[in-house]
Structure 1
Amino acid sequence: MPEYQMERNGMRKVISMAVLTGALALPAFAEGETHYVAVHVNQNDPHTINMALNNVQNVSNYYESIGDDVIVELVAYGPGVHMFRTDTSPVAERISAMALEVEGLRFAACANTIRAMTAKAGKDIVLMPEAEVVPSGVIRLIELQEQGYAYVRP
């Protein structure tokens, strides 16, 4: 048998074995990945607050459109906590609707800020039921970033 035929037959055997063992399998693209995003709000400005909510909606819509999941936590501290207050929120209805519509969305309000607002107002500050109180907004953002969350600040 000529040398080139032996080489060719040997190569066929190598390719056949590689296919059988999966060595030549094409890389599988990850479907249904989960993305993690932390959104930071520390201003009591309706434009900034709405931009943050727009960011959340756009991120959610995009990942849903490509078959991925997204977990988003919007963290507010300082003046940003007004977005969750029942008496001062410029976006209360929008937050309530988004909480029902956007899967994987959480709202976090800073306990330090709430204590300061309560002391200044001389009365309890009432938050929307969608907001979860965390010990510190800044610490929560640090924790989320340490867990691999992407950070967004509108």
Structure 2
Amino acid sequence: MITSAVNLAHADMSLAKHKVVVQSSSSDPELQGLALVIAGNLQKHYGMDNVDIEVVAYGPGLGILTVDSPNAKKVKNLLEHNIKFSACEGTLKFMEANNGKRPKLVSGVGVVEDGVVRVIELQEQGYAYVYPR
């Protein structure tokens, strides 16, 4: 939960001209990959200092943030370029209950109490909403 508080504090103090939240809630590998491409392209377009980007993953889309994901290296690379990633605690608990173990997340991925709530909170802070379909 500490990471969640840090993410919220950072979002509130953002000086970036643009703020974007990208939702990942699909198990479709193409859509998960598209979410990452969009995040990277937005940062390239606006520049690292001019845009805050957070990818929020929940439900079937949370798999994108696990170390076993085919996209794990891309997530790590984007994290190194100051793109934030948040995993839904509710989904993690659900996955743990169903699979007997908690999925291991890519190092640097934050955890928020509820992914949908996080998306709403970011929108209330002026973040543009992107949902790849």
The number of residue pairs the alignment matches comes to 118
Say if 2:16 and 2:52, in contact at 8 Å, map to a contact too.
no
Q: Which aligned pairs between 1:47-58 and structure 2 lie closer than 5 A?
A: 47-58=30-41
TM-score, normalization by structure 1: 0.72
Partner of 2:46 in structure 1? 63
| Pairing 1:153–2:131 present | yes
Measured after TM superposition, the shift of residue 33 of structure 1 is 5.7
Residue ranges of structure 2 left out of the alignment (5+ in a row): 1-14
Q: Which aligned pairs between 1:116-135 and structure 2 lie closer than 5 A?
A: 116-135=94-113
Partner of 1:92 in structure 2? 72
Task: Output one character per residue of 1:78-130: Cα deviation in whole Å (capped at 9) or x when no partner.
Answer: 0111011123x120011111211x23x10000000000000000122211112
Please say which structure displays the higher CA radius of gyration: 1
CA RMSD of aligned residues (A): 1.6
RCO (CA 8 Å, sep 6+): is it higher in 1 or 2?
2
TM-score, normalization by structure 2: 0.83
Return the alpha-carbon distance in structure 1 between the equivalents of residues 116 and 106 of structure 2: 20
Percent identity over the alignment is 41
Q: Which aligned pairs between 1:69-108 and structure 2 lie closer than 5 A?
A: 69-87=50-68, 89-100=69-80, 102-103=81-82, 105-108=83-86
Return the alpha-carbon distance in structure 2 between the equivalents of residues 98 and 146 of structure 1: 24
Post-superposition, which runs of at least 4 consecutive aligned residues in structure 1 deviate over 2 A? none
Residue ranges of structure 1 left out of the alignment (5+ in a row): 1-31
